[in-house]
Amino acid sequence: MFVHLHCHSQYSLLDGAARIKGMVKKAKELDMPALAITDHGVMYGVIDFYKKAKEEGIKPIIGCEVYVAPRTRFDRVAKIDDNLYHLVLLAKNQEGYKNLMNIVTKGFLEGFYYKPRVDFELLKEFSQGLIVLSGCLAGQLPQLILKGEVEEARKVAKDYRDIFGEENYYLEIQDHHLPEQKEVNQVLSTMAAEMGIPLAATNDSHYLDREDASVHDVLLCIQTGKTVEEENRLKFPGSEFYLKSPQEMKELFSQYPQALENTLKIADKCNVDFDFSQTYLPYYEIPSGHDEDSYLRELCFEGLKKRYEEITPEQEARLDYELGVISQMGYASYFLIVWDFVRYAHENDILVGPGRGSAAGSLVAYALFITNIDPLKYGLLFERFLNPERVTMPDIDIDFCYELREKVIEYVVNKYGEDRVAQIITFGTMAARAAV
Domain ranges of the chain: 20-269, 292-420
Cα-trace Rg, the chain: 26
Does residue 436 carry a pLDDT above 70? no
- Cα–Cα distance measured from residue 229 to residue 231, given in angstroms and rounded to the nearest whole number: 6
Give the pLDDT mean for 159-187. 98
Does residue 207 carry a pLDDT above 70? yes
Q: Which of 197, 150, 144 is nearest to 170 (CA)?
A: 197
What is the pLDDT confidence band of residue 393, given thresholds at 50, 70 and 90?
Answer: confident
- Cα–Cα distance measured from residue 282 to residue 420, given in angstroms and rounded to the nearest whole number: 7
Segment 31-48, tens digit of pLDDT: 999 999 999 999 999 999
Q: Which of 139, 145, 158 is nearest to 87 (CA)?
A: 139
- Cα–Cα distance measured from residue 154 to residue 337, given in angstroms and rounded to the nearest whole number: 54
Q: Tell me, what's the pLDDT at 197?
A: 98
What is the pLDDT confidence band of residue 433, given thresholds at 50, 70 and 90?
Answer: low
Q: Tell me, what's the pLDDT at 434?
A: 61
The helix (H) or strand (E) run that includes residue 101 is helix 94-109
Q: Which of 127, 147, 122 is nearest to 137 (CA)?
A: 147
In contact, 160 and 176? CB cutoff 8 Å:
no
- Cα–Cα distance measured from residue 77 to residue 159, given in angstroms and rounded to the nearest whole number: 25
The residue with greater pLDDT, 124 or 429, is 124
The SS3 assignment for 336 reads: helix
Q: Tell me, what's the pLDDT at 435?
A: 55
The helix (H) or strand (E) run that includes residue 256 is none
Mean pLDDT estimate for the chain = 96
Q: Tell me, what's the pLDDT at 425?
A: 87
Instruction: Name which CATH class applies to 20-269.
Output: alpha beta
In contact, 375 and 363? CB cutoff 8 Å:
yes
CA distances from 16 to 7, 8, 226, 244 (A): 9, 5, 17, 15
In contact, 65 and 109? CB cutoff 8 Å:
no
What is the pLDDT confidence band of residue 432, given thresholds at 50, 70 and 90?
Answer: low
- Please give the single-letter amino acid code of residue 272: V
In contact, 173 and 188? CB cutoff 8 Å:
yes
